[in-house]
Chains A and B, each alone.
Chain A
């Protein structure tokens, strides 16, 4: 009676959605965080523009993004991934920019005075300093995104949420609790795993 195999597959798909969305969102966040950081002097127009863009992506909830993207990209995980990625880019971008603002500018000055361009200085002077920090934020975000990915299916954006919506709508009480239990277990397992990874990343930094 329990469709454990299909739920396990859906759960795996949900985790993959969260991972892909985190990867895409964090990637966009890294690109936007350098112009958004106040200490790198990206320019009078570029810096505020990047900051406003991050703010907009951060303040609109994922579900609202998902509702709109489901119209544009059709029902399915694609819309959900893009919605979570958009919100992630905004949330991570702010944290990344703050991490960049807190780095020492010695290496930056070195690269610039050796004739490096702005991009090269970002890549070779700032990125190596902040990389462990960014990685640890991204992992934390992955935990949060797994939770979001498990409910974003409510609006038709893929993952285990769609199945959950269905069984709640049909009042299959036992299946509701079974799926909820699976989701909680998966979230806990990923939390533990990611916490250990994060401690290793932070340990490597120190």
Chain B
């Protein structure tokens, strides 16, 4: 049996009863339209403001094509020893910076943990200091340290260490807060003091976590150490920015490939080490 076709009056009645079934009502549609209009307006303004003209894009793209053409084939150039040295310096900077940050972050982590330091005001302010440090990018630290201690890898090491101490300390504090209390109670029952509780009750539990985090940071720091040299803080970044300045694009391409390969190698190595430490 087939249903009788609905009359216009029926349709109107249903539309009044269930407006949602007939598509969005006028208000929602208007709001939607308004939202899109605002978005398009912003997009248009932003494109205009930042100078996305077809002419500029075309000129830029043809310039980029020239650069890319000059990049092939990549060549180590005459000063390839400097490049390798810069690369080694970058890895060393990342290692030393992470090492210093990890060392300082251990006591700071204990200070920031709620189950070790019970003074809420102290802990709260310490955590906010950590947050503040984290909000400043590594490159900004590097620039500041270059002004403070001069050009060279020392500024890079200090920048990496300062930027990472806060984050590592926060992660350590969280790890310590998640540690089990039973071991601590055991040490207390055996007559251990405050320090003995931390050393033998808490530390053995959180040490693998801390180590794994430090390794993870080392990984990400090899990436950032590679670019800190752009502001003069040593490492391969200095080499690449110098070669870009004199437009030796084939050497630039070589350095980029080298950087990518190094980062991949360190990622692989560190992932294996971490799996061994945590999963073992």
A interface, CB within 8 angstroms of B: 13, 16-17, 19-20, 23, 56, 59-61, 63-64, 67-69, 71-74, 76-79, 81-82, 147-148, 150-151, 154-155, 158, 164-165, 168-169, 171, 176, 180, 183-184, 187-188
Chain B residue nearest in CB terms to A62: B227
Chain B: interface residue total (CB-CB under 8 A): 41
B interface, CB within 8 angstroms of A: 43, 46-47, 49-52, 56, 59-61, 63-64, 67, 131-132, 135-137, 139-140, 143-144, 147, 223-224, 226-227, 230-231, 237, 240-241, 244, 247, 252, 256, 259-260, 263-264
| A201→B25 CA distance, assembly (Å) | 23
Chain B residue nearest in CB terms to A17: B50
Q: Are A78 and B256 in contact (CB under 8 A)?
A: no
Given contacts A67-B240, A151-B140, A165-B143, 14 further A-B contacts (CB under 8 A): A17-B50, A20-B50, A61-B227, A68-B64, A71-B67, A71-B244, A72-B67, A76-B50, A76-B51, A78-B56, A155-B241, A176-B144, A183-B135, A183-B136
> What is the CB-to-nearest-CB distance from A138 to chain B, in angstroms, rounded to a whole number?
14
Q: Which 5 A-B pairs have the closest CB atoms?
A: A73-B60, A72-B63, A184-B135, A72-B64, A151-B139
Task: Enumerate chain B residues within 8 angstroms of A77, measured Cβ to Cβ.
Answer: 50-51
Q: Are B49 and A16 in contact (CB under 8 A)?
A: yes
Q: How many A-B residue pairs have CB under 8 A?
A: 99
> What is the CB-to-nearest-CB distance from A27 to chain B, in angstroms, rounded to a whole number?
11
Question: In this complex, which of A68, A74, A147, A154 has the most chain B Cβ atoms within 10 angstroms of its Cβ?
Answer: A68
Q: List 30 A-B contacts (CB under 8 A).
A: A16-B49, A17-B50, A20-B46, A59-B264, A60-B259, A63-B139, A64-B227, A64-B240, A64-B256, A67-B241, A68-B67, A71-B63, A71-B67, A71-B247, A72-B61, A72-B63, A72-B64, A73-B64, A74-B56, A74-B60, A76-B51, A78-B51, A147-B137, A151-B137, A151-B139, A154-B143, A154-B230, A168-B144, A168-B147, A171-B147
Task: Enumerate chain B residues within 8 angstroms of A67, measured Cβ to Cβ.
Answer: 230, 240-241, 244
> What is the CB-to-nearest-CB distance from A53 to chain B, in angstroms, rounded to a whole number?
14
Chain A residue nearest in CB terms to B138: A151
Chain A residue nearest in CB terms to B255: A64
Task: Enumerate chain A residues within 8 angstroms of B263, measured Cβ to Cβ.
Answer: 59
| A165→B129 CA distance, assembly (Å) | 24
| A16→B60 CA distance, assembly (Å) | 21
Task: Enumerate chain A residues within 8 angstroms of B47, measured Cβ to Cβ.
Answer: 20
> What is the CB-to-nearest-CB distance from B225 to chain A, in angstroms, rounded to a whole number?
11
Given A20-B46, A71-B63, A78-B50, residue A180 in contact with residue B140 (CB < 8 A): yes
> What is the CB-to-nearest-CB distance from A183 to chain B, in angstroms, rounded to a whole number?
7
Task: Enumerate chain B residues within 8 angstroms of A23, measured Cβ to Cβ.
Answer: 43
Task: Enumerate chain B residues within 8 angstroms of A19, measured Cβ to Cβ.
Answer: 46
| A64→B67 CA distance, assembly (Å) | 14
Task: Enumerate chain A residues within 8 angstroms of B43, measured Cβ to Cβ.
Answer: 20, 23
> What is the CB-to-nearest-CB distance from A2 to chain B, in angstroms, rounded to a whole number?
19
Task: Enumerate chain A residues within 8 angstroms of B131, measured Cβ to Cβ.
Answer: 188
Q: Are B50 and A81 in contact (CB under 8 A)?
A: yes
Task: Enumerate chain B residues within 8 angstroms of A17, measured Cβ to Cβ.
Answer: 50
| A82→B260 CA distance, assembly (Å) | 20
Q: Are B135 and A187 in contact (CB under 8 A)?
A: yes
Task: Enumerate chain A residues within 8 angstroms of B52, measured Cβ to Cβ.
Answer: 78
